[in-house]
Structure 1
C-alpha cells in the first residue's frame, strides 16, 4: 500500500505522472495532426486510409489503450492537484498578484484542462464512437475503407461545431503554452543551456499544432 501511494498518491508522484502522460499526449497530437493534414488538401482516400490504419493495426490498437489511460490519469491527477493547491492557498491569496510570478496559462491550467477534456469527449463521440460503432454498410470509399472523410467534413460544415472546435484549440494552445516546458522541468530535465531551447520548442508547439488543427474546420467551413 505504501509503495502504491508513493507511486500514485503523493503530490510529487501526481506531478510526475502529469508530466509523463502530458508529453506522451503531445507526441500523439503531433502524429494525429499529420494524419489529419489530408483534410486540408481534400485527399479523401489518404485520410480514410490513415483512419483505417489507426483503428486496425495491432500495435496501434495496443498503444491506443495506453492513450486512453494517459488521458484519464492526466485528467484525474490534474483535477486532484488543482483541488489540493486551492485548499492549500492562504487566506490572503485573493490579494495576491499572480501575474508577478506566473502567466495566465499557468494560473488557469485546471480550467484549460477541463475545456480540453470536454473537447476530447465531444470529439470522441463525433468521430471515434462513429468509427467503431456507427453503421458503415453504405458509407465506404472506393478502397473499401470506412468513409470517415465525408463524416468529418459534414461535421465541420456545421458552424457551431467548427466554432466550438476552434475555441477548444485556443484553450489547448494556452494549456500547452505552460504545460510543455513545465513537464520537462517537473521530470528534472532542467539545464541553463537546454531549458531556453525547450521553452522555445514548447511555445512553437503550443502555437503551431493547435493553430493547424483549428485551420481544418475553418478551411472546410469557408470552402
Structure 2
C-alpha cells in the first residue's frame, strides 16, 4: 500500500509540475507572438521580464527547478513503469493499446530537454552574461534585434521547428493526463480534454510560425 501511495504521489507531483510548465509556455508564447505583431511591445515586455526583480530572482529560479523536477520525475516514472510491467512484449498490441505520443513520452521529453538546452544557450546565457558578467547598460530596444538574429540560420530554425513538433506530441498526451493524475473527473472533463488537444496543437504551431516568420522575413527578396 505504501509503494502504491508513493507511486500515486509521484504521478501527482509530475502532473502538477507539468501544469505549471504549460502555464509558463502560454505566457512565453504570448510575449514571443508580440514580436510578430509589434516589435516595440515585444521589447517592452522583454525588458520588464529581464529587469523585474521578482521575475529574475524568484520566478526564474522556480521555473528552472520546475523544468529539472519535471524531467527527472518523468525518467523516474518511466523506469518504474517498465520495471513493474507484468505483460510481456509478445502480447503488446502497439497502437491498439495506446497512442504513439503516450508510448514515446520519454523520447519526446528528452528531445525537448535537449532543445531547452539550446534555447538556454541561445537566449538565457547571453542575457546573464550581458547583465551580470559584462554589466552592460540596459538597452530597452535590443531584444527584438537579438531574437531575429537567432533565426537567421536555417539549421537553427529547423531545429526549433522540429523540437516544437515533438512538443506537440508530448503535450497531446501529457497535458490531458495531468488532469487525470490530479483526479479531475467531472462533467467538464470531456470539454477540458478537447481544450488540452487544441492547446497541444496551437501553441507549438504558433512557436513554429514565429520562428519561420522571422527566418523568411530577413531573407533577400
What TM-score comes out, normalization by structure 2 length?
Answer: 0.88
Runs of 4+ in 1 over 4 A off after TM superposition: 135-138
The CA distance in 2 between the partners of 1:94 and 1:146, in whole Å, is 60
Match of 1:164 in 2: 159
2:168 aligned with 1:173: yes
Once the two structures are superposed, residues 88-110 of structure 1 have per-residue CA deviations (whole angstroms, 9 ceiling, x without a partner) of 23472254013222111111111
1:22 corresponds to 2:29: no
Whole-angstrom CA distance in 1 between matches of 2:34 and 2:195? 25
Following TM superposition, by how much is the alpha carbon of 1:190 offset from its aligned partner in structure 2, in angstroms? 1.1
Give the distance between the partners of 2:71 and 2:90, measured in 1 at CA: 26
Q: Structure 1 CA distance, aligned partners of 2:165 and 2:135? A: 33
Contact 1:169/1:210 (CA < 8 Å) preserved in 2?
yes
Question: Is this contact kept in 2: 1:131–1:146, CA < 8 A?
Answer: no
Tell me the C-alpha RMSD between the 2 structures: 2.1
Cα pair distance change 1:94/1:71, threshold 3 Å: farther
The aligned length equals 211
1:206 aligns with 2:200: yes
1:146 Cα offset (Å): 6.0
Higher relative contact order (CA 8 A, sep 6+): 2
The yes-or-no answer on 1:149 pairing with 2:126 is: no
Native 8 Å contact 1:159 1:221 kept in 2: yes
Of 109, 115, 123, the residue aligned with 1:113 is 109
Structure 1 residue runs without a partner (length 5+) = none
Pairwise CA distance, 1:136:
7.8
**Cα deviation 1:115-153 (Å, max 9, x = unaligned):** 111111110110011112135859x7xxx3261221211
| Alignment pair present for 1:217 and 2:211 | yes
Q: Give yes or no for the alignment of 1:12 onto 2:8.
A: yes
Q: Structure 1 residue 197: deviation in Å?
A: 0.8
Structure 1 residues 128, 146: closer, same or farther in 2, change over 3 A?
A: farther
2: CA distance, partners of 1:146 / 1:88: 54
Unmatched 5+ stretches in structure 2: none
TM-score by length of 1: 0.87
